[in-house]
Amino acid sequence: MAIKIRDYQEGYSSKVNELAVSAFSEFKDQYEDWPGFAAKIGGMSSMASKSEIVVAMEDNMVVGAVAYVSPNELKADMFESDWAVLRMLVVEPSKRGFGIGRALTQECINRAGRDGARCVGLHTSPIMQVALPMYLRMGFTKLKDVEDIHGVPYGVYVKHLDTKSVA
CATH number of 4-165, picked from 3.40.630.30, 3.30.70.660, 3.30.420.40, 3.90.110.10: 3.40.630.30
pTM of the model: 0.93
Residues of the chain with pLDDT under 70: 1, 163-167
pLDDT at 161: 94
pLDDT at 167: 41
Asked if residue 165 lies in contact with residue 44, where contact means CB atoms within 8 angstroms, the answer is no
Residue 148, CA distances (Å) to 9, 75, 83, 126, 151 in order: 32, 18, 22, 12, 5
The whole-angstrom distance between residue 48's C-alpha and the CA centroid of its chain comes to: 13
